[in-house]
Amino acid sequence: MMTIVFSLFLLTMLVLVAVAILRTENLFTAVMLSGIFSLLMAANFFVLDAADVALTEAVIGAGISTVLFLGALALTSEKDRSPPVGSWVPLISASALGAVIIYAVMQAPRLGDPNAVVHNHVAPWYLEKTPELIDVPNVVTAVLASFRGYDTLGEVFVVFIACMGVMSLLGRVRPRKDSIKLTEYEERSRNLRHHLIPRIVGKMLVPFIVLFGLYVQFHGDFGPGGGFQAGGLIAAGIILYSLLEGDWRGRELVPEWFTSLMVAMGALLYAGVGVVCMLKGGHFLNYSVLFEDPIKGQHIGILLVELGVGLTVTGVMITVFHAFARRGVR
Amino acid sequence: MELLGLYNYFVFAVLLMVGLYCILARTNIIKSLIGLTIFQGAVFLLYISMDKIDGGTGPIILEGAPADTIYANPLPQVLILTAIVVGISTTALGLAVAVRIREAYGTIEEDEIQEMDREQ
């Protein structure tokens, strides 16, 4: 009963926050509210038994997304100058969409119905066969990295390509040490070096965030977690350091050639595992052939693939953050 | 009670409407992108709502768990988990485009940009 009341509360809050985002004219407020929106969404996912997704949404949606939006705001403007009442077309099309969807969901199976179609197709097979074929406790990781490894490989490459896009748009200007001095750069860049308490407290958090990220990375087979969440967490730790100390020092901590290497090596490691499977006589990304014992092959395969995902996601998030941060100083 | 079981889907519909309205009605590019993340969030909510089974738990099969334990559907979770990360990457790309538009035009309001294009 308590869970139902709690989830009703969370869902209602989601709607309220979304309407508040729509109504505000200050973009800074809108970005902060969208961080709250993501956090509420993460809590909702947790109530709906999706711990892996909740972790991802909390890290990526509430954490990194907010920072990227703020970085973009610093480079554009904080005021939304849309005319208050535009044409009627948006209102009519949004209402029409809403009406169609509400009509459609009236026939949907109610929440938690075990006889819903979605629970009676391939999902029972995954739940039944995972202990036998792959033998990792977390079925989400098993499906993500092994059964549907092709999908995940594709997603990793989408993330990789998006990173290439951001870098080609915002440029990777070589640091011109002659034209701009470090002290001058620090004066112009935004950081929290002059705010003692956030700086000291924030810096203490960084190693623990990175440590937790590593735990999530390598414990993903057994509990909620995996490469996507860990990548976001480790990147969040590094981004926090860069926000506190200025992005120049952040790049000294994790040099750019290293993040670029991570982006490329992660995707290559993932695809490479698939190629090794082929060389060993199996199908692409069929880890069972990696070792004599197919179960052990699956374990090692999933571990390597998740490592590839983690490397790429960490690298992409840090690279994108620095692309925005550096643009602000030029 | 029947309608209460559909509450998640109604919230999905409302969020979708708010997101779409935000994208269409607001001429500010960053605001449109925030609308896009609301729209995305609505779709994520729809998928994750479908994975829930009454009396179930997260799909992590621990040793020693009773044989009749009900597990949530792992498939929507996998789809959405990766979609969230892809979503932030594409949003970052959109923000990068917005920054370049601001540098070229000095504004991120669509109507002002169109005005400038017409004048040329």
Query: Helical H runs in A57-148?
Result: 65-75, 89-105, 123-129, 139-142
Residue type, A212: F
Mutation for testing the B interface, residue in A3, A22, A92, A239 having most B CBs under 10 Å: A22
How far apart are the CA of B116 and the nearest CA of chain A, in angstroms? 16
pLDDT-derived band at A172, boundaries 50, 70, 90: low
Nearest by CB to residue B108, choosing from A30, A76, A155, is A76
Share of chain A above pLDDT 70, in %: 93
Q: Is the pLDDT of residue A191 over 80?
A: no
CB pair distance less than 8 Å for A68 and B102: no
State mean pLDDT over A85-100.
Answer: 87
Q: Identify the pLDDT of residue A292.
A: 87
Task: From A277, A273, A280, A284, select the one nearest A309 (Cα to Cα).
Answer: A273
Q: Identify the pLDDT of residue A173.
A: 59
Task: State the average pLDDT for chain A.
Answer: 89
CB pair distance less than 8 Å for B84 and A151: no
B64-116: pLDDT as tens digits: 888 888 899 999 999 999 999 999 999 999 999 999 999 999 888 888 898 99
Mutation for testing the A interface, residue in B27, B37, B70, B75 having most A CBs under 10 Å: B75
Q: Identify the pLDDT of residue A330.
A: 63
How far apart are the CA of A11 and the nearest CA of chain B, in angstroms? 7
Q: Is the pLDDT of residue A80 over 80?
A: no
CB pair distance less than 8 Å for A228 and B82: yes
CB pair distance less than 8 Å for A151 and B44: no
Share of chain B above pLDDT 70, in %: 98
Q: Is the pLDDT of residue A235 over 90?
A: yes
CB pair distance less than 8 Å for B13 and A139: no
Q: Is the pLDDT of residue A198 over 90?
A: no
Size of interface A-B (CB pairs under 8 A): 296
CB pair distance less than 8 Å for B54 and A114: yes
CB pair distance less than 8 Å for A140 and B78: yes
Q: Is the pLDDT of residue A322 over 60?
A: yes
CB pair distance less than 8 Å for A53 and B84: yes
pTM: 0.92
pLDDT-derived band at A95, boundaries 50, 70, 90: very high
**CA A314 to each of CA A52, A131, A158, A210: distance values in angstroms, whole numbers, following the listed order:** 17, 30, 14, 11
CA geometry: angle B90, B29, A27, nearest 5 deg: 100
A6-21: pLDDT as tens digits: 989 999 999 999 999 9
pLDDT-derived band at A121, boundaries 50, 70, 90: confident
3-state secondary structure (DSSP) of residue B98: helix
Residues 6 or more apart whose CB falls under 8 angstroms from that of A239 comprise: A64, A67, A250, A317, A318, A321
B32 contacts in chain A (CB < 8 Å)? none
Q: Is the pLDDT of residue A239 over 90?
A: yes
Q: Identify the pLDDT of residue A77.
A: 84
Cα-Cα-Cα-Cα dihedral sign, residues A99, A101, A107, A111? negative
Q: Is the pLDDT of residue A212 over 70?
A: yes
Q: Identify the pLDDT of residue A182.
A: 66
